[in-house]
Amino acid sequence: MSTETTLRRTALNETMRKYGGKMVDFHGWELPIQFAGILKEHEAVRASAGIFDVSHMGQVFVTGADAFKLLQLTNANDLRKATPGKGVYSHVTNEKAGLVDEIIAFCLAADRYLVIVNAATSTKDYEWFKAQSARMLVKIENRSEDFSMVAVQGPKVPLMFEQFAPEALKLPRFGIVEKDLFGEHCYVSRTGYTGEDGFEVTAPHSVIDRVWEKMMELGKPYGIVPCGLGARDTLRLESGYLLYGQDVDDEHTTYEANYGWVVSLDKGDFIGREVLAAQKQGGVGRKLTGLTLTGGVPRPGCKVFKDGAHAGDLASATYSPTLKKGIGVGYLVPPDLKPGTALEVEIHGRRVKAEVSRVPFHKGTAFSKDLYTGK
Amino acid sequence: MPKPEEVKYAKTHEWFHPGGEAAVGISDHAQHEMGDVVFVELPKVGQKLEKEKPCAVVESVKSAFDIYAPVSGEVTAVNEAVTSDPALLNQSPLENGWIFKMKPSDPGEAASLMDWNAYQEFLKQASH
């Protein structure tokens, strides 16, 4: 393909190829869609351990006396939840309460934050933070080009970290620790996009290969497998996690996305608060709603019908390896449909019976609180 | 079970085994490219088929793939086993993973399909 030369490659590109990754163009990045197969990789993460190259993700550092103030102003969630050593999942909202991005803001110290942002939005986020920081004592650095990132996910992953990073075992969900790995300053957080317990390691490019190989070595007794974007998508959708650009964007709000728990209306003013307060009061006209079906595989863009009328389109949809049926989410009208409500999804011109489902479709170990004691 | 060398191939990666009741499936190359097959939408017995027109759908985790009739004719049987176990298309694309059987209406049409060597050459060309 002639476009191949223009694709951006992560520092792990050669390693991905060495392990048999089937490389594809993912929004301008060359990343593996799969290794041994999506089902096998998905099952490994649910049962034991899998490892992902997520180096396309971005890192924005916000530092200075007003770092907290800036993040509190630009986020729907309350940054007070992010005490030093902890992170908070949040939505960066515009004036219309649409999402600039969905992020994790880690508090490294009272005046120092690491914000993990989506790949395609890192520049946009950086510009947005810049624009909102007038007259603030704050330094904003988009350091996405300087870091690679590996996600190690699965119920057996904490066992792997016993020797490698025992301090990480004490982390609660969304906890973070700064740690030298192979002589470089790195960040280890108890986060992920799979619904399973696990860690994400943010490291300079120069040591990321060694981090990857070390994980493969430590994970060997647990049958760790390299995983691609295919399994990443089935795992995150089963867990009800949003994909920016597909499930949410500048035009959809947090309440519409059915992520109301992210909104902290009582924390004080923030951008988009008025719109969100009105939606909290008056409700939303459409809501991201989950559905399941058995007679086929739903895909993004499939039309959804309720009582014969077009109720919306699927934003994300796939085959769920855990539930062994089709799952999807779409903005449906009316909102607040009860689980079990009968729907139809149009697949290849056929109307297939579906029903409204609770989201998450499946709750992995990341949803169980007991694990995070590290015991 | 037909050997890979004994069947004919369409450019859209279906195989066609003209012997006896003509069977149709996807090539080993195709199943490999699709990845894990999780759903198969079979044609109906008695359905009329037109050469190179879509007549079935194979869904893998990542995508949907149309299956095209390699030759014209009529469906005489479908493989219900792949409905309950779609992975048969990956495990045994030429035997247990066959999709349907058919009665060709024009025996001459199969001549345009590729034999094993031509298909290998075709795959080589396509990968460049």
> Would residue B43 count as lying in a domain?
yes
**For residue A367, what are the contacts with CB-CB under 8 A and spacing of at least 6?**
A195, A239, A360
Which tokens sit at A207? 């040591």
pTM for this one? 0.94
Closest B-chain CA to A316: B62
| Domain contains B117 | no
Residue from A373, A371, A348 nearest A296 by CA: A348
One DSSP character per residue, A200-236 reads: EEEEEHHHHHHHHHHHHHHHGGGT-EEE-HHHHHHHH
Task: Tell whether B125 is covered by a domain.
Answer: no
Give B124's DSSP letter: H
Structure tokens at A44: 């490994």
In B53-76, which positions are buried (b, 16+ CB within 10 angstroms) versus exposed (e)?
eebbbbbbbbebbebbbbbbbebe
Among A349, A119, A332, A350, which residue's Cα sits nearest to residue A341? A332
Contact B39 A299 (CB under 8 A): no
Q: Can the peptide bond before residue A300 be classed as cis, meaning omega within 30 degrees of 0?
A: no
Does residue A179 come out as left (phi exceeding 0), alpha (psi in the -120 to 50 range) or beta? beta
Residue B2 lies in a domain: no
User: What is the distance between the terminal CA atoms of chain B, rounded to a whole angstrom?
Assistant: 32
How far out from the chain centre does Cα A313 lie? Answer: 22
Q: Are A342 and A357 in contact (CB under 8 A)?
A: no
Q: How does pLDDT run across B80-118, given as a tens digit for each residue? A: 999 999 999 999 999 999 999 999 999 899 999 999 999
Tally the residues of chain B: 128
Specify if B64 maps to a domain: yes
Q: Residue B80: which CATH number? A: 2.40.50.100
The strand order across the sheet containing B48-49 reads B8-9, B14-17, B22-26, B100-104, B73-78, B48-49
Please tell me the total count of domains within chain B: 1
Judging contacts by C-beta atoms under 8 Å, the chain A residues touching residue B36 are 37-40
| Chain B residues bordering chain A (beta-carbon distance below 8 Å) | 35-36, 38-39, 41, 57, 59-64
Percent of chain B with pLDDT over 90: 87
Q: Do B59 and A296 touch (CB under 8 A)?
A: yes
Across the interface, do B62 and A348 touch by the CB < 8 Å criterion? Answer: no
Mutation for testing the A interface, residue in B29, B33, B37, B38 having most A CBs under 10 Å: B38
User: Can you tell me the distance from the alpha carbon of B122 to that of B116, in angstroms, rounded to the nearest whole number?
Assistant: 10
What tens-digit pLDDT sequence spans chain A (375 residues)? 444 568 999 999 999 999 999 999 998 999 999 999 999 999 999 999 999 999 999 999 999 999 999 999 999 999 999 999 999 999 999 999 999 999 999 999 999 999 999 999 999 999 999 999 999 999 999 999 999 999 999 999 999 999 899 999 999 999 999 999 999 999 999 999 999 999 999 999 999 999 999 999 999 999 999 999 999 999 999 999 999 999 999 999 999 999 999 999 999 999 999 999 999 999 999 999 999 999 899 999 999 999 999 999 999 999 999 999 999 999 999 999 999 999 999 999 999 999 999 999 999 999 986 554 433
Measured between CA atoms, the residue of chain A closest to residue B87 is A39
Q: Checking phi first, is residue A298 left (phi over 0); if not, alpha (psi -120 to 50) or beta?
A: beta
Strand partners, B67: B56
* Cβ contact B94:B1 at 8 Å: yes
Tens of pLDDT, residues A196-244: 999 999 999 999 999 999 999 999 999 999 999 999 999 999 999 999 9
Which residue in A has a C-alpha nearest to residue B85's C-alpha?
A324
Q: Are B15 and B7 in contact (CB under 8 A)?
A: yes
* Residue among A296, A319, A350 minimizing CB distance to B61: A319
The answer to whether A296 contacts chain B (CB < 8 Å) is yes
How many beta-carbon contacts under 8 Å exist across A and B?
39
Residue B114 lies in a domain: no
Facing residue for B62 by CB, picked from A33, A296, A348:
A33
How far apart are the C-alpha atoms of A373 and A190, rounded to whole Å?
Answer: 12
Does the residue B84 lie in any domain? yes
**Tell me: the pLDDT tens digits for A18-47?**
999 999 999 899 999 999 999 999 999 999
Give the closest of B41, B57, B61 to A234, CB-based.
Answer: B61
Whether chain B has a CB inside 8 Å of the CB on A39: the answer is yes
Residue B120 lies in a domain: no
Segments forming the whole domain that contains residue B14: 8-108
